[in-house]
Each structure stands twice: as structure tokens, then as C-alpha cells.
Amino acid sequence: MALDASSEVSDEALLVAFGNGDREAAMLLTARLTPRIMGFSARMLGGDRAEAEDVTQEAMLRLWKIAPDWRQGEAKVTTWLYRVTANLCTDRLRKKRGIALDTVPEPEDETPGAVEGMIEADRVRALETALSALPDRQREAVVLRHLEGLTNPEIAAAMEISVEAVESLTARGKRTLARQLAGQREELGYVEN
Amino acid sequence: MSKTDENETGLTDAALDDVFAAARATVPEPRAEVMARILADAEGEIDRRESVSANARPAHRFDILRAAIGGWPAMAGMATAAVTGLWIGVSAPDQLSVLSGGWIEGASANSEFELEELVPGYIALMALDEVAP
């Protein structure tokens, strides 16, 4: 498979090619899918990079193993991967839930100079912390919709629920995030005049 | 003005969208080492599958036949029937003559039946043959 034609080949076609022993297809799929799955798993795991890398490798390994049985047209590779990754993340979070909740940092309301010093990295960190406190399904829906940029029907397929259920989960998730981040309004740079 | 603005219990939708945008802009990139591990997994999976298919013995014609008739038990039954048939054909014409009431005879027995007895229409057939020019 020629590299210059790689952008025109769908993930599904590449996976079938890999299932037939095409090593170049493996390279293309790795380059194409790993960053997305890494980003998604990191956000699902509250920014834990090491855990996210492990989950990404495990999800991709499962993809390699299922490749010979993959049937084009039945599902999108990304949808399947998001589902597998979300399940892997949920399993890991459940195992360490008690510890994780104790280690979530509390907002420091009285930090001097925090208003001026707020940068985007702090917003990201605050969001990661707030996301970690969301129920699993709400977090998954919010991350897929607002950070991964999937459409509601795509999220519905990945989560195996209805579009209406996706809308409900994202709406509730956003409301909860808004309330949680309200305590850090000043640090986030949203000072009311 | 959004609902969150009104009750002042949370961040506004616009502010929350800003936070989402900041998060989207800072995607954690996988390290080269992780990419290499994932690619090695893929290569290993292809190697494993190729190894399995290479070790698989190509099917022999006899294997296909044996499978088609039902495996080794069916083969044993067929072998028994073949040997029995051979034994009947070669070594037991006299016994066969007894069992068949004399219709089938061995080489040593005298013929007790004429062709006309075995084929009743034979005489009529011969007669027709004689009449014909």
C-alpha cells in the first residue's frame, strides 16, 4: 500500500489489510489512531499519562487481535476503539476509585496572585480534576462530545445508547462541571466586574 | 443570558466552552516509545498468525476422504465390509450355493438350472429370432 495514498484509505480498509498481513497498514493505523486514543484515555483518566499509555497500548492490541475477523461496513474502527478504551478506563478508575477521590486537589481560593497568573494549562488541569469527579458515563459523553469532537450519533454508537440519552448525559455533565469549576471562577480568569 | 449566569451557581456556558477549547488545544501526545511498543505488538500479531498458518499441515487426499465418510470408525466399517466381500467372492462359493438355495454355485458344483428357467421369456425371444428373415 503506497504511503501517498494512505490519507484516502479508510481506517476500516486499513484494518482489513492488516488482518491479511499488511505490515504497512499497521504503521498507518498506529500513526493515525494512537494519538486520538491516547488523548481520549488521558482525559478519561484525569490526565494520568502513564495509565493512559497503558490503556492505549491495550486498546490497540485488542484492535490488532480482532483485525482478521473485522467486517467492513459493520462499524467504524474509531467507534469501536472509543468503546474499548472507555471500558478499559472505567475498569482502571473503579479499581483505584477510593484512592483517587482522596487525592483530588481542592481549589485554593485564597492563593495570592492566582487571578493574574492563570494560564491555559491551569484551566486544563482544573477541567481534568472536575472531569474526574463526574460519573463514568457522564464523563465519557462529555469528553467525546466536547473534547474529541464526536457527533451525538457517533457517541451514541460508541456508548451503545440512544442519541437522546447522549444529550441527557452531556447536558447533566456540563451542568455538574460548571458548578464544580465555579469555585475556581477567579483562578480561571472569569472575574465578574 | 444563560441559566448558569442567572443563578450564579456555575460557570457560564461561554466560560465552560473556553475551558474545553483550552483542553482541546493541549492534547497529550503519545511518546515515540509508546508508538514503538504498539507497532511491535502489531508486528508480533502478524508473526503469530503467519506462524500458526505455516504450522498447519496441508490436508492430504486421504484425510479429506476420511473426513467425508465420517472419520476412523466409518473407515473401519468400510474395511471390514471390503474384506468380507473379498472373502465371500474368493473362498466360499459352495457355502454361498447353500445359502442362496442353489441360485449361485461354486465352480465345482454341477449346474442344475438352465437359462430358460432363470429367464422365462428366453424361449419366446429365441422363437422370434427364428421367424425373423
Q: Which of residues 10-29 of B touch A (CB under 8 A)?
A: 10-13, 15-16, 18-20, 22-29
pLDDT at residue B103, as a whole number: 64
C-alpha A66/C-alpha A54 separation (Å) is: 19
Residue B43 grid coordinates:
508486528
Greater model confidence, A9 or B119: A9
**Band of pLDDT at residue B40, cut at 50, 70 and 90:** very high
Alpha helix locations (H) across chain B? 3-7, 13-25, 32-55, 61-69, 72-91, 93-99, 115-118, 122-131
**Band of pLDDT at residue A161, cut at 50, 70 and 90:** very high
The answer to whether A126 and B19 have CB atoms below 8 angstroms apart is yes
pLDDT at residue B105, as a whole number: 59
**Band of pLDDT at residue A118, cut at 50, 70 and 90:** low
**Band of pLDDT at residue A26, cut at 50, 70 and 90:** very high
One domain for residues B74 and B48: no
Residues of B in contact with A127 (CB under 8 A): 19-20, 22-23
C-alpha B22/C-alpha A126 separation (Å) is: 11
The amino acid sitting at A31 is A
- Contacts of residue A180, defined as CB under 8 A and 6 or more positions apart, other chains included, come to A130, A133, B10
One domain for residues B68 and B48: no
Least confident of A67-76, A133-142, A183-192, B101-110: B101-110
**Band of pLDDT at residue A6, cut at 50, 70 and 90:** low
One domain for residues B75 and B117: yes
One domain for residues B39 and B87: no
One domain for residues B100 and B49: no
Residue B27 CB neighbours (<10 A) = 16
Q: Is B40 on the interface with A (CB under 8 A)?
A: no
Q: Name all domains of chain A by residue range, CATH numbers in brackets.
A: 8-103 (1.10.1740.10), 107-193 (1.10.10.10)
One domain for residues B19 and B73: no
One domain for residues B44 and B65: no
Domain containing B9 equals 3-55
Counting one residue from chain A and one from chain B, the pairs whose CB atoms sit within 8 A come to 117
C-alpha A140/C-alpha B67 separation (Å) is: 51
> Cell numbers 481534568 label which residue?
A128
The total of structural domains in chain B comes to: 2
Least confident of A5-14, A111-120, B9-18, B30-39: A111-120
Q: Best residue in B12, B17, B19 to probe A by mutation, most A CBs within 10 Å?
A: B19
